[in-house]
């Protein structure tokens, strides 16, 4: 069983913001696989099948900096090891619309990933970094909480569709195939 986590902030005011790119990817996976997400504990969870594999989709409802609490809760409930997790999150170090797949590693300064590493006690989980671009005036905190502009919607949708493909390839082909395909 895999735990697929999309990072973001709960609430209508954050719904289409850059920081919620991970939530958007989980929503796309949920819709395409017919997996309904329901409130349980500190997250919205849904269990089902994706590419023939049993998966749990999770959108933490703890706000970004405490994402690890919801991840730990889901992992404990389903007894899922860190190595069976895929975490999708926004990354302002990547241009808008680009994505990267990673096997493991540090947080790159992302507080949601920091929280997961601290709560899980491991850096050994797969990641999908979703490019949101750099803030124009070095105001990263403000920038990540802004919605995508109308002219950015095409790049966003394309990136989310590629993110879905990356998750599917991680399941069917493994990390090396996914990294070869999605990391130029």
Give the single-character DSSP code of 94.
S
110 catalytic, yes or no? no
Helix axes 67-78, 111-120, angle to 10 degrees: 40
From the candidates 19, 42, 110, 129, give the one annotated as an active-site residue. Answer: 19
d(CA 42, CA 69): 7
Length of the chain: 184
Alpha-carbon distance values, 31 to 24, 68, 72, 180 (Å): 11, 24, 24, 27
List helix spans (H) across the chain.
21-33, 67-78, 111-120, 140-144, 153-172, 175-182
List helix spans (H) across 52-101.
67-78
Alpha-carbon distance values, 4 to 51, 143, 173, 182 (Å): 13, 25, 16, 18
What are 44's strand-pairing partners? 39, 59
Q: Which residues are catalytic?
A: 19
């Amino acid at each position: 069983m895999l735990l697929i986590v999309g990072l973001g902030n709960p609430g209508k005011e954050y719904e289409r913001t850059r920081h919620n790119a991970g939530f958007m990817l989980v929503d796309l996976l949920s819709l395409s696989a017919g997996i309904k997400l329901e409130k349980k504990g500190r997250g919205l969870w849904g269990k089902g099948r994706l590419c023939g594999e049993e998966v749990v989709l999770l959108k933490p409802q703890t706000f970004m900096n405490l994402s690890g609490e919801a991840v730990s809760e889901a992992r404990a409930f389903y007894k899922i090891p860190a190595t069976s997790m895929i975490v999708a999150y926004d990354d302002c170090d990547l241009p808008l619309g680009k994505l990267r797949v990673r096997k493991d590693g540090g947080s790159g300064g992302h507080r949601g990933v920091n929280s997961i590493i601290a709560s899980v006690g491991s850096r050994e989980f797969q990641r999908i970094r979703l490019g949101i671009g750099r803030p124009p005036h070095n105001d990263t905190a403000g920038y990540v909480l802004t919605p995508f502009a109308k002219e950015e919607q095409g790049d966003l949708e394309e990136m989310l569709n590629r993110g879905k493909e990356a998750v599917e390839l991680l399941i069917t082909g493994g990390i090396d195939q996914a990294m070869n395909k999605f990391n130029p």
